[in-house]
Amino acid sequence: MSTSPSSLRDYCDDLLVQKAVYGLVPGQAEELDSIMDQLSLTDDASFEAVIGALDSGFAGMDLAGWDAELPTHLQDQVLSEAADYVDGPVPATQTQTRRTKYVSPAAEAPRPQPPRAKVSRIGWNAREKFLGLVAAASLAVAVLSLAGALRTADQATEPVALSQTTNQQLESLVATTGTQRFGWSNPTNDPAVSDLGGEVVWNDAEQKGFMVFEGLQVNDPTQQQYQLWIFDTARNDALPVDGGVFDIDSSGQVIIPIDSKLSITQAKAFAVTLEKPGGVVQSKRERLPLLAGEI
C-alpha cells in the first residue's frame, strides 16, 4: 500500500515527537532515518529543545513549591486559543491545573517519577500535538512570571548527608535487578575535583538513581552550581536530559538523589558540569569536572 507524502510527513513528525518525549523503541530509530531520507529532512533537534524548555519551566515550579490555581482569565485564554489547533470545541473539563509541592530530599526519599503518558495517534496528529506542547511552554512561562517561580540558588537540590537511611536506599537500589553502577572520572583534570571518589547508581526500570561524591569541591551557589546531565542511548548526545542542579557544602562523602526531568530509556553516561546559579536548559560543557560512563 502506498503512502502519500503528507501522511508520511505526519508519521515522521509523530516519531520525532515520540523521540523527544519518550525515546524510540528498537527498530523505530532506523524507520525514522529511512523516512527522513525519503523526505530529504534532517533532524535539527528542535522537538527536543522545546521539550527541554517546557520541562525546565515545570522544574522551576517544582523547586519553588508553587501550588496555585491558574487564574480564570488565563484558563479562558488557553481554551480559546486551543480551538485554533484542534477540530471542534474544547470542553472546559479538559483544562488541567498543575499542582506541585517541593519536598526536600533531606527529609524525604526521592520523589517517585510520574507515570508515563501514553502517546495516542487518535484524534490529534503529530503537528497538533507539537503545537500543543508549544502552547503549554508559553503557558508555563506566563504562570512562572505571575507566580514569581524562578529557580534561584537557594532552591537547588540539596545534598543528602550520608546516613543509615540513605545507605539502605542505596543498597536496596544496588540489589535491584537491572541497576547499573558507573564510577566517576575527571576527564578534563578540573581543579574542582580532588581525591576523586564516588559513583552513580541508576536503574532504568525504576527511573531512580543516586550520585555519590567524594572529593568534589564545595561551591558558592551565588556564583555557580553543579548540574547533572544524563545521556540516553535513545536520545541525541547533543541534548542530554537534565538530572538536576545541586550544591556541595561538605568535602566529605555525600549522596544526592538524581532528579531526571524526563524518562530515561537506557542510560549510558552521566556528566556533571559547573553552570550559572539556577542551571541551564542546554549546557555548553565549558567546565565538565566529572563523567561516569562513555559519551
Candidate from 23-37, 138-152, 169-183, 216-230 with smallest mean pLDDT: 138-152
Can you tell me the mean pLDDT for 24-36? 82
Same domain, 128 and 201: no
117 pLDDT exceeds 50? no
* Whether residue 266 has pLDDT greater than 80: yes
> Alpha-carbon distance 249 to 93, whole Å?
46
Both 141 and 243 in one domain: the answer is no
Beta strands in 32-172 (DSSP E): 160-161
Query: What pLDDT was estimated at residue 63?
Result: 57
C-alpha to C-alpha distance for 248 and 243, rounded to whole angstroms? 15
Largest CA distance in the chain: 64
| DSSP tag of 156 | S
> Do 90 and 165 belong to one domain?
no
Closest CA to 210 of 250, 162, 152, 278: 162
Distance CA 153, CA 220 (A): 9
Strand segments, DSSP code E, in the chain are: 160-161, 179-185, 193-203, 208-216, 225-232, 241-246, 254-257, 267-275, 290-293
Residues 129 and 190 in one domain: no
20 and 70 share a domain? yes
| Strand 241-246 with 254-257, pairing | unpaired
**144/16 same-domain check:** yes
Three-state DSSP state, 273: strand
**Strand 267-275 versus strand 290-293 pairing type:** antiparallel
**For residue 186, pLDDT beyond 60:** yes
15 burial type by CB count under 10 A (0-12 exposed, 13-18 middle, 19+ buried) = buried
166's enclosing H/E stretch is helix 164-174
Q: pTM above the 0.75 mark?
A: no
Instruction: Using the predicted structure, report yes or no on whether residue 178 has a pLDDT greater than 90.
Output: yes
Domain boundary pick from 103, 131, 150? 150
CA distances from 113 to 24, 208, 250, 261 (A): 19, 8, 28, 9
| Under 8 Å between Cβ of 28 and 15 | yes
- Residue 26: pLDDT over 60: yes
Q: Residue 109 — very low, low, confident or very high, per pLDDT cuts 50/70/90?
A: very low
Query: CB of 228 within 8 A of CB of 244?
Result: yes
Among candidate residues 150, 178, 196, the one where a domain is terminated = 150
Is pLDDT at 274 greater than 90 in this prediction?
yes
Ranges 67-71, 96-100, 221-225, 249-253: which has the least confidence: 96-100
Q: Is the domain of 22 the same as that of 133?
A: yes
Q: In this predicted model, what pLDDT tens digit does every residue of 139-159 receive, in sequence order?
A: 554 444 444 444 444 445 555
Same domain, 130 and 169: no
Q: From the CA atom positions of the chain, what is the Rg in Å?
A: 21
| Residue 122: per-residue pLDDT | 38
Q: Are residues 180 and 128 in the same domain?
A: no
Higher-confidence residue of 268 and 88: namely 268
**Which residue range(s) make up the domain with 264?**
154-293
Cell matching residue 189: 583534570
For the residues 100-111, what does the mean pLDDT come to? 40
Residues 36 and 82 in one domain: yes
Domain boundary among 129, 150, 171: 150
Q: How many domains would you assign to the chain? A: 2
φ, ψ dihedrals at 75, nearest 5°: -60, -45
Using 50, 70 and 90 to split pLDDT, how confident is the model at 134?
A: low
- Claim to verify: residue 18 and residue 73 sit in the same structural domain: yes
Task: Give the pLDDT confidence score for residue 261 in this predicted structure.
Answer: 94
Whether 201 and 289 map to the same domain: the answer is yes
